[in-house]
Amino acid sequence: MAHSDFKKVQIQRDDTVFDAYVVGKDDAPGIVVLQEWWGIDTEIKNHALKISQFGSGYKALIPDLYRGKVGLDVAEAQHLMDGLDWQGAVKDIKASINWLKANGSKKIGVTGFCMGGALSIASSVLLPEVDAVVAFYGVPSSELADPAQAKAPLQAHFGELDNFVGFSDITAAKGLEEKLKASVVPNEVHIYPGTAHAFLNRSPEGIQRKKDMGIADEDEASAELAWSRFSSWMSSYLSA
């Protein structure tokens, strides 16, 4: 499978329409895959492709939360994320879930990275139709969603050396863990020693981009472990 295997679809939400990219097996459980602050780039498509091939196969869908915009450097990405209507993004996720259900997926998971990780956790709280969530290095603001109110089984992953304070650093991870103790859903928070932000980004571009941001590249082992935990979590909650 390659990026050419993605099918571009249009999804209706209220009085707006947005693009989404779908890959994977028809009639399989669906997984909504949420972008980092960069937008829809090679990395998020790599992740969605990988996800579609786990277990006996998933249908992975990436909603374009930025409506076609992509940040090429940190300043642009920050600007795009700052401009995001987070409540609107949650509505995009809900519309994406509805599209997957209308197109043969009986159970639906949500996952995301960085900004998308925070939105994944918000989905567990705000969207009762979600069956399982896996979030990577991101925690939503308390105004958007309180993780103690999570309704879908939630697994979260963080790098011990992540320096995005209050968003995905170790304090944010521990805070999330505390909140989830108050929730009624199965939950796990994993912290990977010696790893920093975005440790799943393994493409040459992704590694270079991290170096440009002063983020050391991490070991493959943490990424592999996180993916294996992701796979078993999703399969246990999304299997028929």
d(CA 200, CA 190): 14
Tell me if residue 153 falls in helix, strand or coil: coil
The helix (H) or strand (E) run that includes residue 24 is strand 16-24
Tokens (6 digits) for 187? 């939950």
What pLDDT is recorded for position 127?
98
What pLDDT is recorded for position 240?
61
Backbone angles phi, psi at 179, to 5 degrees: -60, -45
Radius of gyration over every alpha carbon of the chain, rounded to an integer in angstroms: 16
What pLDDT is recorded for position 3?
73
Q: Which residues contact 188 (CB under 8 A, 6 or more apart)?
A: 154, 155, 156, 229, 233
* pTM of model > 0.95: yes
What pLDDT is recorded for position 205?
83
Q: What does the pLDDT look like over 151-188, one tens digit per residue?
A: 999 999 999 999 999 999 999 999 999 999 999 999 99
Beta bridge partners of 16: 13
- pLDDT tens per residue across all 240 residues of the chain: 567 799 999 999 998 999 999 999 999 999 999 999 999 999 999 999 999 999 999 999 999 999 999 998 999 999 999 999 999 999 999 999 999 999 999 999 999 999 999 999 999 999 999 999 999 999 999 999 999 999 999 999 999 999 999 999 999 999 999 999 999 999 999 999 999 999 999 888 888 888 888 887 677 899 999 999 999 999 999 986
